[in-house]
Amino acid sequence: MLLSGKVAMIFGGSGAIGSAVAHTMAREGAHVYLGARRQEKLDWTASGIRTAGGTVETFITDVLDEHNASKEVTRLVQQTGGIDVVVNATGFMHEQGKRIDALSLSEFMSGITPFLAAQFNIAKAVTPHMGGNRAGVILTIVAPAAPMAMPGHLGHIVGCAGTEAFIKALASETGPINIRVVGVRSHAIVDAVAAGSYTGEIFTAKAQSMGLTVDQWLGGAAQSTMLARLPTLAQIAEVTTFLASDHASAMTATVVNITGGATVS
């Protein structure tokens, strides 16, 4: 198994992506720790992992609160002795669709501030407990907008670009202490809305503005890719799990492209 004996801490672990990643990492032998804000959703995800034979624990945390995130991680490390894998699968509602003439500063920042704050707070909390003789990796799931230029997505594009820049900058600091930092850039995930992703609300608004259903909008997004298809939750989870494994131990300061060719840089 790819992650046998590894401790994997997944933030946003009850969401569509985090849950899929957790199931796959548990299948590959990791002891999974799922963190999110709502216990009910965490319990539902954990139950499914246990039913499949995986080992999982849950914890409540707010990644936008630096002190809370650090406190919870420190508490868990007293049980685990360290951390091998960290996944940032958090997501936040943000504005997509308004151009600058209709966009407020708070709407613009909604695509930037929570995403970068979560990234910083998670990294700040986990890095003291990783690396050295116990090689570590921090993985962040990011939307595809960083290399794009399209109207109505100012905050979203800047936020994604900031996320990818943070990944590379952090890797330069953690490489010498044996911690890799890698991003997973995904396009809209075809089955995430049905799995309860918050992106459903964003996609619905986009689709309605074009007189489409969400399924029709996703179909159009798929046709805009080189492969004429969108990634699935299972594909994101499998790639993320591989990147967490020793097979990817030479990879850091990079963002893996799983957009079906929607982006090429």
How high does pLDDT run on average in the chain? 97
Q: Which residues of 152-175 are buried (b: 16+ CB within 10 A; e: fewer)?
A: bbbbbbbbbbbbbebbeebbeebe
Give, in degrees to the nearest 5, the angle at Cα 248 between 243 and 252.
85
Sheet holding 136-142, edge to edge: 55-60, 31-36, 7-11, 85-88, 136-142, 179-186, 254-258
- Phi/psi at 44 (nearest 5 deg)? -65, -45
Write out pLDDT tens, residues 116-133: 999 999 999 999 999 999
Question: What does pTM read for this prediction?
Answer: 0.97
Write out pLDDT tens, residues 211-254: 999 999 999 999 999 999 999 999 999 999 999 999 999 999 99
Q: What is the dihedral of CA 71, 72, 75, 81, to 10 degrees?
A: -110
Q: With a cut of 90, say whether residue 206 has pLDDT above it.
A: no
Average pLDDT over residues 46-58: 98
pLDDT score at 140: 99
Average pLDDT over residues 179-208: 94
pLDDT score at 265: 78
Q: With a cut of 90, say whether residue 180 has pLDDT above it.
A: yes
Whether 193 and 203 have beta carbons less than 8 Å apart is answered as: yes
pLDDT above 90 coverage of the chain, percent: 98
Which domains does the chain show, CATH number per domain? 7-186+232-256 (3.40.50.720), 190-230 (no CATH)
Write out pLDDT tens, residues 58-108: 999 999 999 999 999 999 999 999 999 999 999 999 999 999 999 999 999
pLDDT score at 242: 99
Give the integer Cα–Cα distance in Å for 228 and 138. Answer: 30
Q: With a cut of 90, say whether residue 23 has pLDDT above it.
A: yes
Q: Is the dihedral of CA 148, 186, 126, 171 positive or negative?
A: negative
